[in-house]
Amino acid sequence: MAGHSKFKNIMHRKGRQDAARSKLFSRLSKEITVAVKTGGGPDPDMNPRLRLAVQNAKGQSMPKDNIERAINKGSGAGGDDYQEMRYEGYGPGGVAIIVEALTDNLNRSASNIRAAFSKNGGSLGETGSVSFMFDRVGEIVYKPDAGDADTVMEAAIEAGAEDVESGEDRHTITCAFEDIGAVSTTLADKLGEAESVNVIWKPQNLTPIDEDRAQTLFKLLDALDEDDDVQNVYSNEDISEEVMERLSA
């Protein structure tokens, strides 16, 4: 397993499907609400950030009523005033970690995230301390039934994507950060609705770690995942399949 991205690399977690889904919907709702407030209003056609947020919610089978409630919440006066924050640091074995948060209490978020790092073999650094080791790119994920590898590759090339990785459980298409809107729209016309469309931090290089450090790293990533203010976590660990099999047993 190489790298960690929220809601994707969950092999090491068991028996948390319902809780994880509830948390996923909560975070998708928060992103929709913030997109309405900061991105240009409640019309997805006029608000690119909202369009991507709604597309993600649909891709995760979030009920239509939930989506509409989140949009209405963002359109109304008052309510929670979320701020976007990025935290950076190192985990066990020197693994670089980026944490993205949406919070209505900066002191609470900083304190909780710092505690998660310090209690699980990591250290929180300054903004910019690890992000230079990542590239900011667009990531569009399709389920296997979108088509075979050749079909998805052809569609991605025509859409202007930069790379495609096809596996048994998904097709992952990456593109330049500034092209994500155009590429995702073109792909939707050819392949249908994507499972997710996100701007992500993609590691430039991976950091190999052994089993002991991997166990501690997963505790840190779990602690961050469980924080309600955290939206996304990215890291650059490289863990062998043999170690992953033992940790997943």
pLDDT band with cut points at 50, 70 and 90 for residue 60: confident
53 and 99 in a single domain? The answer is yes
60 and 4 in a single domain? The answer is yes
82 and 164 in a single domain? The answer is no
- pLDDT score of 244: 85
- pLDDT score of 77: 63
**What is the mean pLDDT of the segment spanning 137-151?**
94
- Indicate if the pLDDT at residue 7 is higher than 50: no
Domains identified in the chain, total number: 2
Return the CATH number at 146.
3.30.70.980
75 and 104 in a single domain? The answer is yes
**What is the mean pLDDT of the segment spanning 57-86?**
86
- pLDDT score of 15: 45
- pLDDT score of 14: 42
Last residue of a domain, one of 165, 187, 203: 203
Query: How far apart are the C-alpha atoms of 78 and 154, rounded to whole Å?
Result: 46
Instruction: Tell me the residue range of the domain where 184 lies.
Output: 135-203
231 and 130 in a single domain? The answer is yes
**CA nearest to 35, candidates 51, 55, 18, 20:** 51
118 and 209 in a single domain? The answer is yes
pLDDT band with cut points at 50, 70 and 90 for residue 243: confident
CB 92 within 8 A of CB 191: no
- Indicate if the pLDDT at residue 154 is higher than 80: yes
1 and 86 in a single domain? The answer is yes
In tens, the pLDDT along 229-238 reads: 999 999 999 9
Enclosing H/E stretch for 123: strand 123-124
* Residue of higher predicted confidence among 18 and 171: 171
In tens, the pLDDT along 109-129 reads: 999 999 999 999 999 999 999
192 and 218 in a single domain? The answer is no
In tens, the pLDDT along 193-222 reads: 898 899 999 999 999 999 999 999 999 999
Q: What is the pLDDT of the chain when averaged over all its residues?
A: 88
Ranked by mean pLDDT, which of 38-42, 48-52, 140-144 comes out on top? 140-144
- Indicate if the pLDDT at residue 66 is higher than 90: yes
Q: Residue 221 — left, alpha, or beta (φ > 0 → left; ψ -120 to 50 → alpha)? A: alpha
- pLDDT score of 28: 92
- pLDDT score of 124: 95
CB 195 within 8 A of CB 143: yes
150 and 116 in a single domain? The answer is no
Query: How far apart are the C-alpha atoms of 172 and 182, rounded to whole Å?
Result: 16
- Indicate if the pLDDT at residue 38 is higher than 90: no
User: With 0-12 CB in 10 A as exposed, 13-18 as middle and 19+ as buried, what is 78?
Assistant: exposed
215 and 191 in a single domain? The answer is no
30 and 103 in a single domain? The answer is yes
2 and 24 in a single domain? The answer is yes
Q: Return the minimum-mean-pLDDT range out of 40-44, 109-113, 159-163.
A: 40-44
- pLDDT score of 107: 96
